[in-house]
Amino acid sequence: MTIFRYFANAFLVSLALLLVGHKAVAQNVESDLKTLKAWRAGAIVSTEAIKTYGEQRCFSQEAIPDVVFARMEGRSFPKDCTVNRQSLRYLRLLHVDVDGRTRLGEMVCNQSIAADVIDIFRELYRQRYPIHSIKLIDDFNADDEQSMRANNTSSFCFRKVTGSKKLSAHAMGKAIDVNPLYNPYYHRSPSGKITVQPTTATKYVDRVATFSYKITKTDLMYRLFVARGFKWGGAWNRVKDYQHFEKE
């Protein structure tokens, strides 16, 4: 009888722990569902919550909502911006960070590349390709240097090409900079002056070295973008912009 009671008690304890575990998981999923509905870029969510919410809803595009545009006005969308707001799209994306955690991302890009961008980032997510951050550059006060230093992936920002009066492809929302800290812009002038952006990325100019997030011509990121007609700044001759993909 004593042995029976021992096993009965052990079973009840195990059952209680199992129920507590299921309750905790359910509570976490419920919390993540609230995060998904609010869509806070950078937030971590569980696979279970994504299944419940629907992966398709996590890769979507729409006209820029007023609440998002309010964040952009005076920053990535300054008063002298000549780009029509209606030509841009607000994207919701999922991405996996270097630690394998799923995070929420958001991006504004040109409507002409929106579908391609969604397809690319959906495949990157499914292949568990690490991307550090996907937030609007407005979260960094539209400061490209600060966004790059934070290794933030972004697209639209009404600005000129570095060292030029010409508008950047980013000004039209037709370019994307991916994991920029580890894939910097590099230029050596005829006089020998070297420019690296972000300025904190000097050691990542060495493309022979091995490190996380590095984009090469054999990389999945490169292959997905090029397959959809994008050009890679890492293949340019006069300058190297390893983070940069653009489409005309």
81: buried, middle or exposed (CB in 10 Å: 19+, 13-18, 0-12)? middle
With the C-alpha atoms ordered 96, 97, 102, 107, is the resulting torsion angle positive or negative?
negative
Phi, psi angle pair for 129, to nearest 5°: -75, 125
The domain limits of the chain are 1-30, 40-246
Task: Dump strand ranges (E) for the chain.
Answer: 60-62, 88-96, 102-110, 133-134, 152-153, 175-177, 185-188, 194-197, 231-232, 240-241, 244-246
Give, in order, the Cα–Cα distances in Å from 42 to each of 16, 135, 154: 35, 7, 13
Nearest to 68 by CA among 112, 33, 109: 109
Q: Rounded distance, CA 205 to CA 211, Å?
A: 11
Q: Answer yes or no: are the C-beta atoms of 142 and 116 closer than 8 Å.
A: no
End-to-end C-alpha distance for the chain, whole angstroms: 80
| pLDDT confidence of residue 21 | 43
Per-residue pLDDT of the chain (248 residues; tens, 9 = 90+): 566 666 666 565 555 555 444 444 456 899 999 999 999 999 999 999 999 999 999 999 999 999 999 999 999 999 999 999 999 999 999 999 999 999 999 999 999 999 999 999 999 999 999 999 999 999 999 999 999 999 999 999 999 887 778 999 999 999 999 999 999 999 999 999 999 999 999 999 999 999 999 999 999 999 999 999 999 999 999 999 999 999 99
**Residue pair 198/242 in contact by the 8 Å Cβ criterion:** no
pLDDT of residue 246: 98
For residue 91, what pLDDT is reported?
99
| Whole-number Cα distances in Å, 99 to 31, 47, 95 | 21, 14, 11
Q: Would you say 204 and 184 are in contact if contact means Cβ atoms under 8 Å apart? A: yes
Say how many C-beta atoms besides its own lie within 10 A of residue 124's C-beta.
Answer: 20
Do the bridges between strand 133-134 and strand 152-153 make them parallel or antiparallel, or are there none, so unpaired? parallel
Q: Counting beta carbons within 10 angstroms of the beta carbon of residue 9, is it exposed (0 to 12), middle (13 to 18) or buried (19 or more)? A: exposed
Beta bridge partners of 54: none
User: What are the φ and ψ backbone dihedral angles of 118, each rounded to 5 degrees?
Assistant: -60, -45
Quote the pLDDT of residue 57.
Answer: 97
Q: What is the 8-class DSSP label of residue 62?
A: E
**215 closest CA partner among 248, 245, 188, 247:** 245
DSSP 64: P
Q: What is the pLDDT of residue 13?
A: 52
